[in-house]
Amino acid sequence: MTKGRRRPGPFRVGEDPDPRFTLANERTFLAWIRTALGMIAGAVGFETFGPELPPMIHRLLVTGLLVAAVVITIGCFLRWMGVESAMRRGHSLPAPALAPMLVGVLAGAGTTLALVFAIR
């Protein structure tokens, strides 16, 4: 660990890992951020172009995508810190918790839209 500087959170423990692993962890964090931004864009799209959907479904899709984006944003930051800390300590990486939630939200949104358009 580098001495002489105060380091934030996960950077205070253990030894510096190979920089390639730290940078790969950061790229994964940024990929999750892009996913959250995509969900926000989807919510804006539904809000703008989806008024012909039934009001309850419209509200559910927009709100669900926005809430999922917030959860992903917070969760990916916590995961980034957890992975960095685990690498520095030489521990196993934490299990991914965001992926199942993301699959559930997107599968639910897709199924809802498919049913709405199939019924029309």
Give the list of residues 6+ apart from residue 112 with CB closer than 8 angstroms, or none: 57, 60, 61
pLDDT of residue 101: 87
| Joined tokens for residue 64 | 């669900």
Q: What is the pLDDT of residues 81-111, one digit of tens each?
A: 999 999 999 999 998 888 898 899 889 888 9
Q: Establish if 9 belongs to a structural domain.
A: no
Percent of the chain clearing pLDDT 90 (strictly above): 56
pLDDT of residue 78: 93
Comparing CA positions, the residue from 44, 65, 55 lying closest to residue 109 is 65
pLDDT of residue 3: 56
Q: Establish if 7 belongs to a structural domain.
A: no
Q: Establish if 86 belongs to a structural domain.
A: yes
Q: What is the mean pLDDT of the chain?
A: 88
- Local structure of residue 51 (DSSP, 8 states): T
Q: Establish if 46 belongs to a structural domain.
A: yes
Top pLDDT among 50 and 54 is at 54
Mean per-residue pLDDT, 27-38: 96
pLDDT of residue 8: 65
Q: How many domains does the chain have?
A: 1
Residue 18 zone, left/alpha/beta (φ > 0; ψ -120 to 50; rest): beta
Kindly report the pTM of this predicted structure: 0.81
Q: Establish if 112 belongs to a structural domain.
A: yes
Top pLDDT among 7 and 72 is at 72
Q: Establish if 2 belongs to a structural domain.
A: no
57 has pLDDT over 70:
yes
pLDDT of residue 1: 47
Range of the domain at 105: 17-119
Q: Establish if 53 belongs to a structural domain.
A: yes
Q: Establish if 1 belongs to a structural domain.
A: no
